[in-house]
Amino acid sequence: MGFKAVPYTDVELENVTEEGAKGAKIRWLISKKDQATRFAMRYFEITEGGHSPLHSHPWEHEVFLMKGKCKVVCDGEESVLTEGGVIFVPENAEHNFQNIGEGELQFICVVPIMD
């Protein structure tokens, strides 16, 4: 494929199907399907009261909050951030993202592409 330049809404919005997720959807904005070799960029929408699963894995996350109020849990620590907040989740840290505000939580999450 190569070069890609599209509105984010042109990328399919899919349900997050991992056990423990509630009201979470994802768009794989840039991924292996686009011939990306190092990083994947993902867009998440989480409904009021929803959350990602509490989980861990051997790669880090870089997150930018675009809209809403997020409680992030990382290895037992909690922090609350709003629009413009930045989150770094280290590899192997148990974490999740919770929508604790009114309306939708939206964020961009960048992760390395793992083979």
Domain locations along the chain: 18-53
CA–CA distance, 30 with 35 (Å, rounded to integer): 9
Burial class for 45, CB neighbours closer than 10 Å (0-12, 13-18, 19+)? buried
Going residue by residue through the chain (115 aa), what tens digit of pLDDT does each one get?
A: 579 999 999 999 999 999 999 999 999 999 999 999 999 999 999 999 999 999 999 999 999 999 999 999 999 999 999 999 999 999 999 999 999 999 999 999 999 998 6
Predicted model pTM: 0.94
Write the DSSP symbol of residue 113. P
CA–CA distance, 57 with 33 (Å, rounded to integer): 22
